[in-house]
Chain A
Amino acid sequence: MDLISEEKMANMTAMEKIRLILDGVKEGKIIVLEKGLTPTEEAKLIEMTMTEITPEDFPGIEIESYPSSHNQKLIDRIFRKPAVRTRLTVIGPANQLKTLKKDRDLISALVSSQ
């Protein structure tokens, strides 16, 4: 399992983040992102995952994050902080990570070996 800090991800481009995640997941790792991905990056991750699916080896990913929240504070808007605040995200191989239950603030998942 790799737990990746917000700082490490902050210095990476969207494609670098996606590559890091997909390479890790294809090696069988569970990736935990301290601050998650933006909705646009999540969509790109889904897109890239689809190009890498192979019938026998890689069925795709399981991704679990809480719904993102929005900056409502005036001070954040004045200083142009991103409107969407992303949250902790767990990503793993679809054949090893299974979501059992998920709600706004709780994710229950089962992790198994291949």
Chain B
Amino acid sequence: MGLIKKVKKNFSSIFKHLFKKKTAKIGIYGPPNAGKTTLANRIIRDWTGDAMGAVSNVPHETRRARRREGVTIESNGSKVTLDIVDTPGLATKVDFHEFMAHGLEEEEAKRRAKEATEGIIEAVKWLDDLDGVILVMDATEDPFTQVNVTVIGNMEARKLPILIAANKIDLPESSPARIRSAFPQHPLVPISALEGQNIDTLYEEIADHFG
């Protein structure tokens, strides 16, 4: 290695050490029902013993962003402390009829729809206040949703790191390869947040990527 390169590397390492944030604020983003809260629960349970929030098959179960501070993840000799923000599912539309199809009464469905719209606004606002994003995609679905494109576009515009969690690989129709070919510029880990499949690889990537 040349002298200039060495000096540059050492300087960069000292600079990083001096000015590195103690904790990184990481948002868990994705469309409704991609498994964001299931993943947040797993991470927090694995590293703190607690849970983040309730999960269900009804879309927009999470309608308020929730933050858990000081979650320390250690993997392969790397250690990172994160503030984890579990965000409501992003969407461009909220139709109360969708909730009625899941068995909710009309009034309850309308109330839930209203809360869901507020949750989406909150999720969008959080984008301004993060150091990185874990983007959870449902590996059984088309990856080119507008939500994925918008979240990736925003993080890229801010030059912030993104880690894609291709979730639901426990389902036979899942295809993480489809997501990888759609967004080849970002690291991707195929996981099942529900079953815990490949979750240690995700922790390695988190420690490496956000540390």
Interface residues of A (CB under 8 A from B): 38-40, 42-44, 46-47, 49-51, 53, 55, 59-65, 67-68, 70, 83-84, 94-95, 101-104
Contact = CB atoms under 8 A, between A and B. Distances in A.
8 contacts: A42-B154, A43-B124, A43-B154, A46-B90, A50-B94, A50-B121, A64-B146, A94-B95
Contacts of B93: 49, 53, 59-62, 94
Contact of B146 (A44, A50, A65, A83): A65
Given A59-B93, A101-B142, A42 B150 contact: yes
Interface of B: 90-96, 110, 113-114, 117-118, 120-121, 124-125, 127, 142, 144-146, 149-150, 152-154, 156-157, 182-183
B92 A94 contact: yes
A38 B142 CA distance: 22
A67 B155 CA distance: 13
Contacts of B124: 43-44, 46-47, 50
B144 A104 contact: yes
Counting from the closest, the 6 A-B pairs by CB-CB distance are A60-B93, A39-B153, A94-B93, A50-B117, A59-B95, A102-B144
Contacts of B120: 46-47, 50
B144 A39 contact: no
B96 A55 contact: yes
B188 to A, nearest CB: 15
B113 A55 contact: yes
B156 A60 contact: no
A16 B176 CA distance: 39
Nearest to B153: A39
Contacts of A94: 92-93, 95
Nearest to B116: A50
A4 B118 CA distance: 30
A42 B149 CA distance: 10
Contact of B92 (A38, A60, A95): A60
A55 B154 contact: no
Nearest to A42: B150
Contacts of B121: 47, 50-51
Given A39-B153, A53-B93, 4 more contacts: A47-B121, A61-B93, A84-B153, A101-B142
Among B93, B182, B183, find the residue whose CB has the most chain A CB atoms closer than 10 A: B93
B157 A38 contact: yes
A71 B110 CA distance: 44
A95 B95 CA distance: 9
B113 to A, nearest CB: 6
Among A50, A51, A70, find the residue whose CB has the most chain B CB atoms closer than 10 A: A50
A53 B142 contact: no
A114 to B, nearest CB: 14
A70 B186 CA distance: 14
Nearest to B93: A60
A70 B146 contact: no
